[in-house]
Amino acid sequence: MHKLWASTYKEFLLLTRDLGGLAILFLMPLVLLVVITLVQDSTFKTIKEVKIPILLVDQDNGTVSKNIGESLSESNSLEVIKKSSETEALKLVQKGDYQLAIIIPKDLSKDLGSKVTTNVDGILARFGLEEEDSVSTTTKIKPKEIRLYFDPATQQSFKSSIKNGIDKMISKIETKTIYKAFQEQLTEDASEIIFDTESFIIFTEIVPGGDKNPIPNSTQHNVPAWTLFAIFFIILPLSINMVKEKNQGTFIRLRTQPVSYATVLGGKTLVFLLVCLIQFSLMLLIGIYLFPLLGLPRLDVSGKLPLLYVTAFFAGLAAIGLGLLVGTVAKSQEQSAPFGATLVVILAALGGVWVPVFVMPPTMQLLSNISPMNWGLNAFYDVFLRNVGVSEIIPEISLLLGFFILSTLIAIIYYEQKNAV
Amino acid sequence: MIQIDQLSKKYKGADFYAVKDLSLIVHEKEIFGLLGPNGAGKTTLISMLSSLLKPTSGSFSINGLDFQESKNELKQHIGIVPQDYALYPSLTAFENLHYFGSMYGLKGDSLQEDIVSNLKTLGLYDFAHKRIRTFSGGMKRRINLIASILHEPKVLFLDEPTVGVDVQSKSVILEHLKNLNSKGTTIIYTSHHLNEAEHFCTRVAIIDHGKIVCKGIPQDLVVEQKGANNLEEVFLARTGKALRDYA
C-alpha cells in the first residue's frame, strides 16, 4: 500500500509539474465540448428555427401552385422567394446561392382539375348517378412534372424531405379537388358540406415518463457524447506519460526494484481517474453555467449528479485501462500518440458519438457493441435523458469495469512476458 | 558472493552471442571491474545480473539466491546504477530519491534521514529541492547513484558510473563507492576508464566477444602481460586494436 501511495504521489507531482500539459489536458476537451455543441445546436436550429431560402417559379398561376406556395411559406423551415424565369432560378442554384428551385409547370391546376373531374364523372357514371351523355369524353392527360433543381452540395436528407413534402402537398390538393368535384356533382347547394376534409390522423410527440422526462435539448444530447469522447482522450496523455518513462530510463530502474507493475499502474490509474472526474465536473459546469451565456440550452443535472458521477467514474476507468495498455505496448511517442488518437476516434465513431447507432449498417451496429464508448454513452443517455435508477445502468458500468480489468490485465501480462527474467 | 555459471545471451535476430558460456565468481566485498571494448558484452552481463534481461542459458545466484527462484528477494539485495540517468527531470532531487527509496519499501523518517545523509556526502544537499532538469551531468550522476544505494544493497552494479563527469564529481563518486565497499557492499562495475579501474578495482575481468579473456588483480595482470606497463596496455594486447563497431 505504501508503494501504491508513493506511486500515486509521484504521478500527481509529474502531472502538476507540467502546467502547459495540464492546461491542455483540461482546456482542450472543454473547447471541444463548447465548439461541438455550438455547431450541433446551430444544426438543430437550422431544422427548428432558421429558414432556408428556396426559389419558386410559378408557371401555373393556378390554385394548385398557389396552394404549394402557401404551404411552403407556412413551413417553419423554408423561406419562399418567387422568380418568374426558370433559367434565372437555375443559374442562382448553380451558383450555390440557393439550395433549391421548384418549377411548377404550366396548366398544372387546370390539368389536375380536368383529370379529377374526368375520374369523378367516370365513377359516378358507373354508379348510374350521371347521365351517359354528360360524361366527358375520356382524354389522356399527360402527367405533369414539377422540376426540382438542387444545389449539388445539398444533403440527401434535405432533398428527400422536400420531395416528400411537395408530394404530400399535391396529394392533399388532389384529395381536396376530388372531394370538391364529388360535392359539385352530388349537390347543387355549394354551402352544404357533404365531406369532412379535415385530416383524420394527427401526430403528437410524447416522451415516455410524463412530466419527469422533458424533451431533451441539444445540450443534453451533446454533453454526454462529447464528455465521453473527452474522457477517452485521457488515453493520449497517459500513454505518452508511460512512453516518456521508458525513454527517461526510469522504467528500467523500476524493473530492477522490488515493485510490481500492477502497483506502478495503480498509481497512474488513481491520478488519471482523478483527472477524468475533474474534467467531467468542469464539463458539467460548462453545460450548466457557460452554455446559457452562449445562447445554448442549460444542462439539466437536477437529481442526476450521483449517477452521472458513477457513470463518469467507470467510463474513466475503461479509458485508463486502454491508455495503460497502449502505453505498455508502445515503444515511442510516435507510436502511442497517433495510435491513441485514432483509436479514440474509431471507438467514438463505433460507439455512436457522431452518428447514432440505429442509423448504422447492421454490421456496424453489431460492432458498436464492442466499443466501450457505446456502453458509456448508453449509460449517460440513460441517466441524462431517460432518468433511470442505478439498477438500469448496472449492465453498462459492469461492462466498463470489465473492460478496465481486462485491458489492465493484458497490459500486465504483456509487460511480464516481455520482461520475463 | 556472486556465482555465474555458463551464462549466455543471444539477442533475437542476432548472429552471435552477446555473452557466451560465461562463468565467474565474485567474492563478497570485492570491487570487481568488468572491462572490455564496445559490444564486448559488459552491459548485457550486468543487465542479466540485475534482472533486466533474461539469459538464453546458464544461471547465476547472488548471496545464495537463485535468479529465477528468488527474483523479488534478490531485487531487494541488489542496486543498479544504470548508464543513463534514470531520473524524473521534472521532480526535485529529494522527490526522485524519496520515490525510488519508497519502491524498496523504505519510508518515514529513516528514509528522509538516509536521503539527507547521502545528499550531504555527495555534496548535493543544497540542491535537494531543485528539479533534476536544472542539474549538470555530474550532479545527475551523483543523484543516479544515491537512488540505487538508499536501501543499502549487498551488491551494487554500476554501468559506467563516471562517464561524462568532471574530475571533481568522479572523485566524489569513487570515494563514496569505496566507503560503501568498506561497509560490506560488493561492487561490480563496468568502465572504459582503464586507469580508473586499475586503481579502483580489487579485481577485474577483460571481456571480449562475450567471453572472459583474462581476469585477476589489475597489478598482477600488468605483470603477467609481457611488455605492458599498465592495464590499458594489457587491454589492447588482449583485445587488439581493431575498431569495434556493431549495429
Full-prediction pTM beyond 0.80?
A: no
Set of chain A residues whose Cβ sits within 8 Å of the Cβ of B143:
none
Residue B230 touches chain A, beta carbons under 8 Å: no
Return the pLDDT at B130.
94
Query: What value does the mean pLDDT take over residues A5-15?
Result: 93
What does pLDDT average to over chain B? 88
Coil vs helix vs strand at A189:
coil
- ipTM of predicted complex: 0.84
> pLDDT, tens digit, for every residue of B31-60?
999 988 888 888 899 888 888 888 899 988
Return the pLDDT at A268.
94
d(CA A66, CA A341): 55
d(CA A243, CA A245): 5
What does pLDDT average to over chain A? 83
From B48, B52, B76, residue closest to A255, measured CB to CB:
B52
The model's confidence at residue A200, banded by pLDDT at 50, 70 and 90, is: confident
Set of chain B residues whose Cβ sits within 8 Å of the Cβ of A247:
none
> pLDDT, tens digit, for every residue of A307-363?
999 999 999 999 999 999 999 998 888 888 889 889 888 988 888 887 777 777 888
Distance from CA of B50 to the nearest CA of A (A): 6
Inspect the interface and report whether the beta carbons of A6 and B52 lie closer than 8 Å: no
Asked if pLDDT for residue B107 goes beyond 70, the answer is: yes
Residue B236 touches chain A, beta carbons under 8 Å: no
Inspect the interface and report whether the beta carbons of B99 and A420 lie closer than 8 Å: no
Return the pLDDT at A208.
60
A295 φ, ψ to 5°? 85, 10
Set of chain A residues whose Cβ sits within 8 Å of the Cβ of B53:
421
The model's confidence at residue A45, banded by pLDDT at 50, 70 and 90, is: low
Asked if pLDDT for residue A389 goes beyond 80, the answer is: yes
* Residue ranges of chain A whose CB lies within 8 Å of a chain B CB: 2-3, 6-7, 9-10, 13-14, 17-18, 248-250, 252-259, 419-421
Set of chain A residues whose Cβ sits within 8 Å of the Cβ of B95:
10, 13
Inspect the interface and report whether the beta carbons of B103 and A250 lie closer than 8 Å: no
Asked if pLDDT for residue B114 goes beyond 80, the answer is: yes
Asked if pLDDT for residue B190 goes beyond 60, the answer is: yes
User: What is the CA A252 to chain-centroid distance, rounded?
Assistant: 46
Distance from CA of A36 to the nearest CA of B (A): 35
Residue A39, C-beta contacts closer than 8 angstroms, at least 6 positions apart: none
Which of A253, A259, A261, A419 is the best residue to mutate to test the B interface, defined by the most B CB atoms within 10 Å of its own CB? A253
- For residue A394 the three cell numbers come to 448496472
Half-sphere exposure of residue A212: CA atoms within 13 angstroms, side-chain side: 11
> pLDDT, tens digit, for every residue of A66-85?
888 888 887 777 888 999 89
d(CA A70, CA A58): 12
Q: Tell me which amino acid residue A109 is.
A: S
CB A134 within 8 A of CB A121: yes
From B68, B73, B103, residue closest to A3, measured CB to CB:
B103
Asked if pLDDT for residue A47 goes beyond 70, the answer is: no
Return the pLDDT at A209.
57
